[in-house]
Amino acid sequence: MIRKVTIFSLTAMIFMSMFTAPVFAASGDTPTIQQQQQMVNVAHRGASGHAPENTIVAFDKAVEMKADYIEIDVQMTQDGKLVAIHDTTVDRTTNGTGSVGDYTLDEIQQLDAGSWFGEEFAGEQIPTFEEIIDRYQGKIGILIELKSPALYPGIEEKVAEVLMQRNMHKPNNDKIIIQSFNHESVQRSKELLPNISHGVLAGLTWADVTDEQLAQFAAYADFFNPNMNIVTDELVDRVHTTGMMIYPYTVRAQEQADNLFQLGVDGIITDFPEYVYKHPVKN
């Protein structure tokens, strides 16, 4: 009798594992479907693995791929207008040369910001911050990086003004996050927009960040977003202990995403949203 129960139990366990193992696996090299569904998927400069970074076509692609957020880099033109571009010069991603801050808005929007990526993107413009907010508000979260804010005095106030004009500074607005490598800029922005989440970006030099430093960040930041190459399970635990979340950057390969899944991060910033979670794309 005991033998029969044992065989029956073993058979039942094998049968059940056929259906549960792929979904509820606790560890291994391949992330589970549940892990993928829970992971916050941030499209770095839009879906920039598929389209020219920081352009409307890249942001539209991220929406199409069902990313949770688009990440944008915000700088300021000579005439005080906010635009989305990563480098402090236009050389790499347009057909122009020189510093972003030396161009007026009209001048910078005459540049071709798409051909460098592919001929099919010829004529893509550098979009304004207001254009991005108005186009994607309510459609996808927006992670705003204040890029080299020391070059643009008052940029924090200008970003805050745009958001407040659209009532996007309200409490518990989890669709907007503001971050920067310039941690003083993050503090200034948090003072202006206390109800919006903020994050500190951390490069490779922060590999040895101390608990004291993390606690100092947590006083004004909700996120500690480091270079993925310094992320360990210990760092993830220490960040979580302070009450912050962690979105490492920048994933450009499936194995990098899989590693971060196993380390228990809260979100992943990636050029390829499909590496984080392969949502179906609407026709």
Active site residues: 44, 86
- What sign does the dihedral 134-85-93-267 (CA atoms) show? negative
Which DSSP letter does residue 148 get?
Answer: S
Query: Please, are residues 75 and 147 in contact by the beta-carbon 8 Å criterion?
Result: yes
CA separation for the pair 133, 161 (Å, rounded): 12
Nearest to 245 by CA among 191, 188, 185, 179: 179
Cβ-based burial of 246 (10 A; exposed 0-12, middle 13-18, buried ≥19): buried
Q: What is the 3-state secondary structure (H, E, C) of 11-80?
A: HHHHHHHHHHHHHHCCCCCCCCHHHHHHCEEEEECCCCCCCCCCCHHHHHHHHHCCCCEEEEEEEECCCC
Helix axes 233-241 and 211-218, enclosed angle (nearest 10): 50
- As given in the structure block, the two tokens for residue 217 are 């960040």
- What sign does the dihedral 26-27-30-31 (CA atoms) show? positive
User: Which residues are bridge partners to 27 per DSSP?
Assistant: none
Q: How many CB atoms lie within 10 A of CB 241?
A: 12
CA separation for the pair 234, 69 (Å, rounded): 26
Query: Please, are residues 59 and 141 in contact by the beta-carbon 8 Å criterion?
Result: no
